[in-house]
Amino acid sequence: MSLTVAIDGPAAAGKGTIARAVAEHFGFAHLDTGLLYRAVGRRTLNGEGAIMAAQSLTAEDVADADALRTPDVAQAASQVAAMPEVRAALVDFQRAFARRIGGAVLDGRDIGTVICPDAEVKLFVTATDDVRARRRHKELVGKGHEVTLEEVAADLAERDRRDAARITAPMTAAADALLLDTSTLSIDDAVARAIERVGQQASAAI
Ligand code: CDP
Ligand code: CDP
């Protein structure tokens, strides 16, 4: 059986953490689709055109995930992500990944709405602005980045605004998504809720 789990939500809500844990628990493959947009964004920072970059993306572009997880690359990602041609160039790869035999978890902004509208399980992960900024700040400082909480909060707010307002595939919860507010949840509790939901839907889908 091939089951698809779609996880969307705003920046630093816990999507990736939950997606990785769900994939590990069920033995599914995991794709962090934000890395694709970050890789395109990074290539534009190096002077390349966004559409060309998206159309010629390779595994090598996303190999060093840590190098892509910086605020300047995130901003560039959110800018290129508003371009319909960039999004179109990345659709087939994501859909093929979602159909993997054995199951797949994809996390991003438009997985449950555009990439996999037929996904068996959809989660929309949220947390308050303040909680998300604190978590991402802690994470970046822990990796040695010199960035203030205010700068991180501004980056998240600007990206969320742009991601929700764009015309093509805006960030929004699918009508059939389960809303998971992780503001007061530990990672373990958030993961447990997600696993419970996937387990319920998986037995319903058999
Ligand atoms: O993928 P997304 O940007 O939505 O978030 P993430 O990278 O999974 O999580 C952002 C940060 O919040 C990470 O450092 C997680 O460890 C942390 N986190 C947390 O403290 N509590 C949660 N319930 C979920 C994530
Ligand atoms: O980890 P975080 O939530 O901060 O960001 P990300 O998931 O790595 O995504 C970076 C940027 O890529 C987002 O701000 C969006 O502009 C874009 N993105 C998108 O448009 N659609 C997706 N499916 C995933 C990411």
pLDDT 10s per residue in the chain (206 long)? 579 999 999 999 999 999 999 999 999 999 999 999 999 999 999 999 999 999 999 999 999 999 999 999 999 999 999 999 999 999 999 999 999 999 999 999 999 999 999 999 999 999 999 999 999 999 999 999 999 999 999 999 999 999 999 999 999 999 999 999 999 999 999 999 999 999 998 787 76
**What is the per-residue pLDDT for 202?**
79
Q: What is the pLDDT of residue 205?
A: 72
Using a cut of 0.95, tell me whether the model's pTM lies above it: yes
CA of 120 to the centre of ligand 1 (A): 23
Per-residue pLDDT at 6: 98
- Whether the complex's predicted ipTM surpasses the cut of 0.95: yes
pLDDT of residue 201: 84
| Residue nearest to ligand 2 atom 4, measured at CA | 11
Please report the pLDDT score of residue 61 as a whole number.
97
Say if CB 156 and CB 10 are below 8 A apart: yes
For residue 65, what are the CA distances in angstroms to 2, 20, 27, 132, 205?
A: 27, 14, 21, 20, 33
**Residue 201 is encoded by which pair of tokens?**
């839907």
Q: Which domains does the chain show, CATH number per domain?
A: 4-189 (3.40.50.300)
| CA of residue 78 to ligand 2 center, whole Å | 6
Residue 1's pLDDT is 59
Of the candidates 19, 3, 25, 2, the one whose C-alpha atom is nearest the C-alpha of residue 124 is 19
Query: How many CB atoms neighbour CB 155 within 10 A?
Result: 23
Span from the CA of 204 to the centroid of ligand 2 (angstroms): 30
